[in-house]
Each structure stands twice: as C-alpha cells, then as structure tokens.
Amino acid sequence: MKRLEKNIGFWGIFALATGSTLSGGFFLLPGLAAIEVGPAIVLVYLIACIPLIPALFSQIELATAIPRAGGFYFFIDRTLGPYFGTVGGLGTWLALVLKVSFALIGIGAYLRLFFPAIEIVPIAAGIAVLLGIINLFGSKKSGSFQVILFFCLSAILIYFISGGISEINTTNFNGIWDNEISSLFSTAGFVFMSYIGITKIISLAEEIKKPERNLPLGIFWALGTSLFIYVLGLIIMVGVVPMEELAGSFTPVAAAAEAISGKVGVVLVSFAALFSFLSVANAGILSASRYPFAMSRDHLLPRYFRKTDSKGNPYVSLLLTVGSIIFFVVAIDPTMIAKLASAFLLLIFAVLSLSVIVMRESRIESYDPGFHSPLYPWMQIFGIFSAIFFIFEMGLLPFLFSLGLIIIGTVWYVYYAKGKVLRTGAIYNIFERLGKYKYAGVDYELRDMMKKKGLKKEDPFDEIVAKSMVIDNDGLADFEEIAAKVSDWVAKEVGISAKRLHKEFMDGTRIGATPVIQEIALPHLIIEGLKHPKMVLVRSNEGVRILYNNPRTDFKQVDEVLIKAVFFLVSPKNNPAQHLRILARIARRVEENSFLRDWNNAKNEHELKIALLHYERFLFLKISKRDETIEMSGKALKDVWTFEGSLVAWIKRDDDIIIPDGATVVSENDLLTIIGDPESLNEIVNHYHLIRANYFE
C-alpha cells in the first residue's frame, strides 16, 4: 500500500488551520448572521465554540493514535465499522466540498466591489481548477503556498483591527441582549462552519511530521488565534457599521473598512478576503481529496479513487473533489451551503466523540494516542449531545438533508461496499468483553501504525538494550531450552517464579502470540508487579528450533522454523502500550535489510546490542587529543556527562568492555558507546565539534 509523504510541520498546520478558518466565517457570514440576531453576532460566534471544543479534543486524540489520510472517515470506520465509516466519510467530504464552494462564492462577492458586472460562477470554477492544479504538485508545495497566504492575510487583519478599535460606536450594540435563546443557538449552528477550517488538518494526519507534538500544538494555536480575531473583528464590524447596512451584506468587512479608512481600507481588506478565500479553498481541496482516496483504499469506493501520480498525490480523488465544488457553486444558494456544511459537520463531530469512547472502552492495548482528551468521558458525552442539540436548533431542512445523507450512505454500503469489506470496528472489542464477538483487525492495524510512529521520549528502549542479558549460542538449540535459561535469569532480576515464566513463554509460541519475522522471534510477556522492562538477546549461528502456531493459518497449522535471533521482552502490566511500542521498535529494526548482516557479523555482546540499536540510536566517541573530547580524560562520568536523553552504555578500553557507572573515570583512547535519541546525539556531536560521518557507522 502506497504511503503519503510526511511533509507538513507545525507552521504548515497552523497556517492551514488558521487560514482556512478566517475566510467565509469572517469575511462573509457575519452579514448573513446579523439578519437573524443583529449585534448579538459576537455572542453567536462564542456560542458556536461550545460543540467545537469536545470535538477538537476527540479528534486530536484519535489523530495521534491513528495518523492516517482521511482523518474523520478513518477514525469512524475503525471504531464503529465500515457502515458508519461510509456514511461519515461521505458526510465529511461533502461538508468540506461545501465549505470550499462557499469560499469561492466569497471571492466573487468581493471581486464585485471592483467589477460590478462580473459573473461569479465562471470565476469560481476557474479558481477551483487552478487550485486543483496547485495541489497536484503535492502537499509540501501546497502547504508552503498556504503559509504565504496566511502571513499576507495576517498583516492586513492587523491593519484593520488596529484602525477600527478607536472608531467603535457603542450605541450600535443596543439590543444585543434582546434575542431569544433559541434564536442565538440556531444562528450559532448556522455559523458553526466558521470553525471547520481548524479541523481540516486532521485529514492530513498521515502527512504530518511528528503528529503527536505538531498536531495538538498547531490546532490549539490556530483556535486561539482564530477566536481572538473573530471576536475583535466582529466587535469592530458591529461598532462601525449601522446594523441596517451590516445585516444581509455579503462584504461586511469591506463595509467596516470603508467606515474606518475609506477606499484604501476597502482595497486592503478585499485583498485580505481574497487571500483568505484562496487559503480556505486551497486547504479544503487538499483535505477533501484525501477522503475518497482513503475510502477507496478500504474498498468502500471503487479502486480507481486510490490511484496516485508519481509524486504520491491521489489525482482521481482530487478531480472528483474539484468537479463537485464546481457543481455546488452553480446549483446551491450560499446561505443553504453554510447551513448544510454546519449540519453535516456537527453530525460527524458527535460521532467522533462517540468514537473516542468506543476506542477507550474497547481496551485495545495498541490504542496509544500521543494526546489524551481531558475529562473523559464527560467531555465526549457533552460533545455528542451538544452537537445534536445544535442540529435540531438549526431547523427542519438541515436535519432532513443530514438524514438524506445517512440514507444515501446506507444504500451505497449495502449495495456496493458490504460484500467487499471483511473488517469490523473496535466496537466489537466491547462486545467481546460482553462475551459476544471480537475483531482483531483494528488491533493489528494499530500495531502497524505503532511501528511507523516509533518510540516516545519516555520509553527506555536504549537503556533496556544496554542492560539486557546476551546468550550467544554456538550450536543448534531448542527454543524450550533457551526459554528455560532466559526464565532463570529474568526470575532473579524480577523476583518471579522461573517455572511460571517458562510456561508462559512456551504457551505464547503455541497460541501464536510470539511474532516470528523471517529468522527472528519475539517472545514477550506482560507481568503484574514488574517495575521496569527487561530484555534478553539470543543469537544462535546454527539456529534455534521453534514450534509455533502460525497466525496466517488462523493458528491451525503448527510450523517448525530455525531462527537466528530471539528477543525476549518482559514488561510491567501497568504500561501495555509501552510494551507494544518497544516490540514495534524491535520489529521495525529486524525488518531492515541490514539487520541480519550486522547481527551475524557481530563479534561480541557489545556489537550484538549495537546491531539491534542501529546507527540512529548510538554514537561512538573516542577520547582523543585531536579534538575537544580530551577534556573528559581523567574525570568521572558523573562530572562530565550532562547530555539529557543519552547515556554512556559501554567503554572499550584496550581489549576490555567496561559497563560504566557515574564513578567510572574516563581515560585517553577510551572508545565510548553512547546510546540515546537522535537529537541528543546530534547535540553531543555539535558540542565537541565533531564530524558526524566519522562517528556514526
């Protein structure tokens, strides 16, 4: 399966989310919302955040656990099953398409200020085609374009806000409290689409660098920035433009700018509006095009939607998205577009909050989000009911359209997708707890994602390898014999019965719980009361005979294989996710082509451990007069080693290998083996002004 490249960093996330949000919600919707509630539009935008907050927390948790293209769809599909995934994927894609269509209409509205005779539809269609072409160059170029648009927009908004604060007429706010509560909530549902841009980046989770850090950071910064600009900007609009002019205006910001600084202001904010609408259209096309791609990858849509070009871009899905945008621009009224987009997204947000509950209650050990939603489950329960409440407050028509979408998705699933999809969702793991049914596919998929995400900073993988026991066996051996030796050593280290450990290791191979990858086996246990993970590395040049039930035959076939490397891992029961991450890290290393070569060529215990760590996790450092490392000579490690995230695992002195502690004194010509995360190792190289190529092998 082809993977998308990870090209989007923090600034790309922040710019995509903020730029997408500050578009129709700021430059177009205030005038339409003012028809319903007058000066209370400021309150309405704050109320609209109510169902957004729990949805954001839920989405980020899911995205850091399941960083895959097609965000909302993928989360719903893997938690509630492919039926809900079909409905959710189509609904989210349609909402994003409607949002882009609304943005393109906004472009036409602002262009009409300068060219009254202009036709909106041809202009909007042409821009949709142009942005589609830009997206064909890939998310990295699209993300760079987004950053440029965002900073242009920010500069003009700062000008608008700074000039408008002093011009506010407080009498324009008379009657702000005169609206009925139901009217405020109904209009808040209508403007909810103003915040859709913040969530668009979720669908690009597979293309985000370091999603566990960059995704929550970028989204929360985008939300804070957007909310600040919305509130301040709306106060200025209401404060400087009479309500009879503001209500119903398709260019409310231009009207406010003209009242503040005349024609110059109109020109500047119109440019800002164009930048903003281009930004949301660009981000929306990029994001929406990943939904048919992801659904096709899961066999819910025809296979040609998963086609990618030489750069990895899903071009068929992109063409469908652009074509649909052009259709909606032509066929649907702008106010109805906003209502439909908001209703569809509120429905999806309710389901996403439910998805977090399902994933947590399924107790799948491989569900390992880098961000955990606070106040679980009350945050999610509130998110579900608040979203449904807002949909009902919006009126009958948006509700009926949402119901129609569910019916269309149901028909498509029953008559096209049902026979092509064999998986179910994580919800069946909840049923398994009730004694009915279990589906392991989600767990396998999450474990595969763990392997790609890698370790967390707090995972002591390097230290575990450094302190591991090594058995280097010369002749042919049986797994049972090796497992007995390992159990004896582990029992002494952790204070648990060797007999019990041996039985559990053997049971694991019989039931298929021991992964066997090429010529490597990974027997592993999770033990109650254990404080720290322990590992034993076993090499046998002639092989270790192992009998195991092959999971590829549904555990019905017993295979005998000869393996060259065995990694025994035992971990505390209170941290199963860390146990799986360490297993995934080992699996990723042993699948590399270089592993068996390095493993078989290792001359001693030290080199066997190095073969497992591989170059990105360790550094050789020789104490030499030729460089600044000589400053460590004659000093204890505890006095000279101040680099966080790394440790000196071994010291080679002449022909001896020393396992050092803080009191070990370093000598000239010592060869230090340092293990740690890549950032820390780079810091060491830079500190001693070393040439990296000479120290990494």
Residue 431: what pLDDT?
A: 44
Q: Check residue 379 and give its pLDDT.
A: 94
Measure the CA–CA gap between 565 and 522, rounded to whole angstroms.
9
Q: How confident is the model at residue 1 (pLDDT cuts 50, 70, 90)?
A: very low
The whole-angstrom separation of Cα 106 and Cα 23 is 8
Q: What is the model's pLDDT at position 452?
A: 59
Q: What is the CATH number of domain 614-695?
A: 3.30.70.1450
Residue 689 is given by DSSP the state T
pLDDT value, residue 146: 59
When pLDDT is cut at 50, 70 and 90, the band that residue 2 belongs to is very low
Which range has the worst mean pLDDT, 49-63, 182-196, 440-454, 650-664?
A: 440-454
Cβ–Cβ < 8 Å for 194, 230: yes
pLDDT in tens, 617-663: 677 788 888 778 888 899 998 888 888 878 888 788 887 778 888 88
Q: Which residue has the higher pLDDT, 264 or 437?
A: 264
Beta pairing class for 558-572 and 534-549: antiparallel
Distance CA 157, CA 574 (A): 50
Tokens of 652: 């080679």
Reduce the DSSP state of residue 544 to 3 states and report it: strand
Q: What are phi and psi of 579, to 5 degrees?
A: -55, -45
The DSSP line for 34-77 is HHHHGGGHHHHHHHTTTTHHHHHHHHHHHHHHS--SSHHHHHHH
CATH topology of domain 10-419: Amino acid/polyamine transporter I (1.20.1740)
Task: Round to whole Å and give the CA distance between 218 and 371.
Answer: 13
| Higher local confidence (pLDDT), 485 or 494 | 485
The pLDDT of residue 40: 92
Query: Which DSSP letter does residue 551 get?
Result: G
Identify the pLDDT of residue 694: 36
Comparing 228 with 466, the larger pLDDT belongs to: 228
The amino acid at 204: L
Strands 646-653 and 656-658: antiparallel
Q: What percent of the chain lies above the pLDDT cut of 70? A: 86
- Write down how long the chain is: 697
**Would you place residue 96 in the very low, low, confident or very high pLDDT band (cuts 50, 70, 90)?**
confident
Q: Is the pLDDT of residue 449 over 80?
A: no
37 is written with which tokens? 């509630």
Query: Predicted confidence band at 212 (pLDDT cuts at 50, 70, 90)?
Result: confident
**8 A C-beta contact, residue 201 and residue 13:** yes
Domains in the chain: boundaries? 10-419, 454-611, 614-695
pLDDT in tens, 380-407: 999 999 998 998 888 888 888 888 888 8
Q: Which residue has the higher pLDDT, 73 or 520?
A: 520
Sequence letter at residue 15: A
8 Å CB contact between 478 and 502: no
- Residues ≥6 apart with Cβ < 8 Å to 570: 490, 494, 501, 524, 525, 526, 527, 530, 533, 534, 535
Which helix (H) or strand (E) is 27 found in, with range? Answer: helix 24-27
Q: Please say if the pLDDT value at position 290 is more than 50.
A: yes
Interhelix angle 252-288/315-331, nearest 10 degrees: 150
Q: Which residues neighbour 423 within 8 Å (Cβ) at sequence distance 6 or greater?
A: 81, 82, 439, 441, 442
Question: What is the per-residue pLDDT for 102?
Answer: 83
The 10s digit of each residue's pLDDT in 308-321 is: 777 777 888 888 89
Tokens of 644: 């966080």
- pLDDT for 409-437, tens place per residue? 888 888 887 777 655 545 444 444 444 45
pLDDT at 551: 54
- Is residue 446 classed exposed, middle or buried when 0-12, 13-18 and 19+ CB atoms within 10 A define those classes? buried
Q: Could you say which DSSP state residue 420 is in?
A: G
Contact 633, 497 (CB under 8 A): no
- The partner residues of 571 in beta bridges, in order of sequence, read 526
Q: What is the pLDDT of residue 506?
A: 85
Query: pLDDT per residue over 215-257, tens digit each?
Result: 888 888 888 888 888 999 999 999 999 998 998 888 899 999 9
Give me the pLDDT at residue 46, please: 92
Instruction: Give the pair of three-digit tokens for residue 653.
Output: 């002195």
Taking residues 528-546, report their average pLDDT.
Answer: 86
Domain 454-611 is in which class? Answer: alpha beta
Structure tokens at 186: 């109904």
Confidence (pTM): 0.67
Q: Angle, nearest 10°, between helix axes 594-601 and 576-590? A: 90
Report the pLDDT averaged over residues 108-120: 81
CA angle, corner 15, sides to 168 and 48, nearest 5?
A: 55
